[in-house]
Amino acid sequence: MTTTEIIRCAKDASRYVARADTEQKNEALCKMAEALIADTDAIMAANRLDVEAAKGKISDVMIDRLMLSPERIAGMAKGILDAVALPDPVGRVLAETTRQETLRIKKVSVPLGVVAIIYESRPNVTSDAASLAIKSGNACVLRCGKEAHASAEAIVRAIGKGLEAAGLPRDSVVLVEDTSRESATEMMKARGLIDLLIPRGGAGLIRSCVENATVPCIETGTGICHVYVDRDADLDKALKIVNNAKTSRPSVCNAEEVLVVHEDVAAEFLPRLEKLLVDDRKREGMIPVELRCDERSLPYIKSGVAAGERDFDTEFLDYVLAVKTVSSVEEAVAHIGAHSTGHSDAIVTENGANAEYFVQSVDSAAVYVNASTRFTDGGEFGLGCEMGISTQKLHARGPMGLEELTSYKYIITGDGNIR
């Protein structure tokens, strides 16, 4: 089937998912999880094909992300079941008012309709996205990278069995067959069929969506996250936070990429930081962090290298940290305003006024005071799960949970009322 035909199937199915009540949606999730476990062998076989084909073509890290095991499949099933316990985001009365005594106006949350996702090679995104879409009453169109296509196909087949067992159309979750660039473009242009498109992937994909999409789109993920160590910072806290934000998981979007430090503490802080991120890590056999420094920071870091022009605008996703020294919190905020992707930025300070100024002025989805940027996550923020992290301001900002996959409508009931 063509991509548009596949999307149209999801559109048709969406009317049934939208009308399903909480019980039926939860039953579908349970059956989806069961089917995933039951199909473990088929999914593993498909995944072996993907992994074989990908070897030598993508990095070892990517192969590891792609590779499944029965345990990982069980983990995916568990992820689906986790959505059962979450509150149904559909049918919430968001506002209510009465006019003319008999005219009742209710603002009620409703599903968006068809939610589409373009993602890369992590097979668990397939089941995560499907479960969030179903729980929020939406049909789901998935398009994964070609490296993961066989795996995704097997996962979607299992999910379809689960949906049918719960009385929902199999096409409530569909996978686009074509993995070429054309199918992505077709999705971006599927007006009237796709109600929300979420591109999860590199900057190129997201730029292409912004420029080409005529369907509503939410930009996700790119995170050039900053930690600013203020003159009034508790340097012990700052060391702990920078270490965590940079090294606990450098490949994720909420990891720190840029350290901004106040000139008055640079001479003390930067050598201590180098010891922690470079010397200590080497001694313990871990990968040391490469520190790319601006002119004013370089004298304080023995192992530092001079930062190039692009280093303050790069999402390294690696053991690399750009370092900049500033003269004031205002300069720090201005630098962050010019270089942040609006994901997560932090200040470390004991000065309440500076913290307040930073929180007010930094225009990012998550702004931190004395905590690591790594907390920007649906689970950590109490949403239970997430479909991606929005770096735009319209509709959803930060982690997108179930509520962010809904819209609302006004339902007005009268008794012949006229205006």
Interface with its own copies includes 391 (CB under 8 A)? no
Interface with its own copies includes 222 (CB under 8 A)? no
Interface with its own copies includes 415 (CB under 8 A)? yes
Compute the distance between CA of residue 176 and CA of residue 54 in angstroms, rounded to an integer.
20
Q: How many CB atoms lie within 10 A of CB 118?
A: 23
- Length of the chain equals 419
Compute the distance between CA of residue 74 and CA of residue 179 in angstroms, rounded to an integer.
27
In the shown chain, the binding pattern of residues 343 to 362 toward its own copies, with x for contact by CB under 8 A and - for none, equals ------------x---xxx-
Place of tokens 């159309």: 169
| Min dist. Cβ of residue 32 to its own copies (A) | 24
Q: Which stretch binds its own copies (CB under 8 A): 72-80, 229-237, 274-282, 314-322?
A: 229-237
Collect contacts of 267-275 with beta carbons under 8 A, ≥24 apart: 267/300, 268/235, 269/229, 269/233, 269/235, 269/238, 269/239, 270/297, 270/300, 270/301, 270/323, 271/300, 271/301, 271/302, 272/235, 272/239, 273/239, 273/242, 273/301, 274/300, 274/301, 274/302, 274/303, 274/304
Q: Which stretch binds its own copies (CB under 8 A): 27-35, 72-80, 302-310, 365-373?
A: 365-373
- Cβ atoms of 334 and 357 within 8 Å: the answer is no
| Min dist. Cβ of residue 51 to its own copies (A) | 30
| Min dist. Cβ of residue 207 to its own copies (A) | 9
Interface with its own copies includes 16 (CB under 8 A)? no
Interface with its own copies includes 334 (CB under 8 A)? no
In the shown chain, the binding pattern of residues 19 to 38 toward its own copies, with x for contact by CB under 8 A and - for none, equals x-------------------
342: left (phi over 0), alpha (psi -120 to 50) or beta: left
CA 206 to chain centre: 13
Interface with its own copies includes 85 (CB under 8 A)? no
Q: Which of 78, 181, 191, 302 binds its own copies (CB under 8 A)?
A: 191
Distances (CA, A) of 365 to 262, 280, 382: 24, 33, 15
Interface with its own copies includes 251 (CB under 8 A)? no
| Min dist. Cβ of residue 15 to its own copies (A) | 7
Residue closer to its own copies by CB (options 223, 304) is 223
Q: Which stretch binds its own copies (CB under 8 A): 175-183, 238-246, 274-282, 321-329?
A: 238-246
Interface with its own copies includes 287 (CB under 8 A)? no
Interface with its own copies includes 204 (CB under 8 A)? no
Interface with its own copies includes 216 (CB under 8 A)? yes
Residue closer to its own copies by CB (options 260, 367) is 367
- Cβ atoms of 234 and 350 within 8 Å: the answer is yes
In the shown chain, the binding pattern of residues 107 to 126 toward its own copies, with x for contact by CB under 8 A and - for none, equals x----xx-------------
Sequential DSSP letters for 206-275? HHHHHHH--S-B--B----EEEEE-TT--HHHHHHHHHHHHHS-TTSTTSEEEEEEEHHHHHHHHHHHHI
Would you tell me which residues interact with its own copies (CB under 8 A)?
15, 18-19, 95, 97, 99, 103, 105, 107, 112-113, 191, 195-196, 210-211, 214, 216, 218, 234, 236-237, 240-241, 243-245, 248, 355, 359-361, 363-372, 374-376, 380-382, 392-395, 397-398, 407-419
